[in-house]
Amino acid sequence: MTENPTSPPAPDPIPTAEAAADRSGRTRRLLGIKGGDVGETSIWQIRLQLMKAITWIPLMWGVICGAASSGKFVWSLEHVLIAAACMLMAGPLLTGYTQTINDYYDRDLDAINEPNRPIPSGAISLPQVVTQIWVLLLAGVAVAYGLDRWAGHEFPTITALAIGGSLLSYIYSAPPLKLKKNGWLGNYALGASYIALPWWAGHALFGELNPTVMILTLVYSMAGLGIAVVNDFKAVEGDRQLGLKSLPVMFGVTTAAWICVLMIDIFQGGVAAYLISIHQNLYAVLLVLLIIPQITFQDMYFLRAPLENDVKYQASAQPFLVLGMLVTALALGHTDSLVS
C-alpha cells in the first residue's frame, strides 16, 4: 500500500532528554560555565567561549556599584549610556581579554583539567588567540580613554585603571610572576580585579574617587578572594601536577572550603560594622540580612561537598554577595550626598 501524497507531514519528534542536554551544554559552553566544554564549530562561538561571558557580570555589576557610591549618577539617557559604555569596557572587553590571556597561558593546565577547552582541543590556533587578546585590550583602553574625555578628567583616571588592571591580569596569568601560582596573592588579585577596579571606574566616571571608597572596596575584595578560591576546586588535580599552590592544594579540600567561606562572611561583616560606624544603620542591617542566606547555602552545598557543588553554590549564594555590594554602594552614595 502506497502513502497518500497529499497527507500532512509527520509532526516533529518530541525533543528528547539528550537534545535538551545538548542545548543546555551548548549554553553553558558559550557562557564559559564548567561542564559545558564540548567543541564548537563557529570561530565566533569559539572566541566567545574563550571570553567566558559568565565572568563579565561581576565586573559590570562593580561599575553599577561605583556609579551608585559616587552619589552623582542620575537616571538620564546620557548617564545610562555612559554607564553602559563603562560596563562594556569592564565586562566584554577587558574581562574578555583577561579570560582569553588566562586560557592562553593555562593551555597546559587545561589539557589536564578541561581538554575540550578551545585551545588544548585545537579548535582555535594560538595566533588567532593572540590576535583576540590584542583586539580586546586595545578596544578596552580606547573606550576607557573616551570615558575620561566625557568625564573631563585632567588625569585619565579610568584609562589608568584599565591599563593597570590589564597589567595585573597579565602578571596573574603569565610567567615569570604568574600570581595564580600563589593561592593567597593570586586569589586576592583576582578578587580586587572583580570588585575594586570596576567599582573605582564607575565611581570615577561620575564622581571623585577618594581614599575611603578605595580602601573599603579593597577590604570588600577580601570577600572576593573567597569567591575566587571557589574556582580553584575544579582544577585541584591539574594544579597539583603542575605545582600551582592553590589553597585546595596547600591546605586540602575541606580546610580550603572553610577558608573560602570565612573570608566571604567575615569581611562582609566588617563592612557592615563600618556602615554602622558612619551611621548608615539601615544599610548595615540589610547587608547582614543578605549574609545570612549565604551562610545557609555554604552549609547546604559548599562545605559538605565542595568539589561536586562549587557551581551550584556559586549560583545560589553569589547573588546575595553582589546585592550586598550594591547596598554598601548606596550607603556610601547616601553619605556623600548628605556631606555635599
Interval 302-334: pLDDT, tens: 999 888 888 888 888 888 999 999 999 999 998
Q: Is 4 within a domain?
A: no
For the segment 252-271, the average pLDDT, to the nearest whole number, is 93
Coil vs helix vs strand at 278: coil
Query: Which pLDDT belongs to residue 14?
Result: 53
Query: Which pLDDT belongs to residue 18?
Result: 58
Q: Is 2 within a domain?
A: no
Percentage of the chain modeled with pLDDT above 70? 87
Q: Is 169 within a domain?
A: yes
Query: Which pLDDT belongs to residue 340?
Result: 52
Q: What is the mean pLDDT of the chain?
A: 88
Q: Which residue has the higher pLDDT, 248 or 100?
A: 100
Q: Is 18 within a domain?
A: no
Q: Which residue has the higher pLDDT, 68 or 32?
A: 68
The answer to whether the CB of 194 falls within 8 A of the CB of 58 is: yes
pLDDT per residue over 167-226, tens digit each? 999 999 999 988 988 888 888 998 999 999 999 999 999 999 999 999 999 999 999 888
The answer to whether the CB of 229 falls within 8 A of the CB of 247 is: yes
Q: Is 19 within a domain?
A: no
How far is 213 from 221, CA to CA, in rounded Å? 12
pLDDT per residue over 103-146, tens digit each? 999 998 888 888 888 999 999 999 999 999 999 999 999 999 99
List the grid coordinates of 310.
562549587
DSSP codes, 168-209: HHHHHHSTTT-GGGBHHHHHHHHHHHHTHHHHHHHHHHHS--
Q: Is 112 within a domain?
A: yes
The answer to whether the CB of 328 falls within 8 A of the CB of 271 is: yes
Total domains, the chain: 1
Is the pLDDT confidence value at 273 over 90? Answer: yes
Task: Report the CATH number that the domain containing residue 253 is assigned in CATH.
Answer: 1.10.600
From residue 87, give the alpha-carbon distance in Å to each of 46, 63, 95, 215, 291.
Answer: 22, 6, 10, 22, 26
Q: Is 20 within a domain?
A: no
Query: Which pLDDT belongs to residue 1?
Result: 44
Q: Is 5 within a domain?
A: no
Query: Which pLDDT belongs to residue 10?
Result: 53
pLDDT class for 231, splitting at 50, 70, 90? confident
Terminal CA-CA length for the chain = 88
List the grid coordinates of 4.
497518500
Rg (CA), the chain: 22
H-type alpha helices, the chain: 17-31, 43-51, 56-70, 77-88, 94-105, 107-113, 118-121, 126-151, 157-173, 183-194, 196-206, 211-230, 236-242, 247-251, 253-277, 281-297, 306-339
Query: Which pLDDT belongs to residue 320?
Result: 93
239: containing domain: 43-339
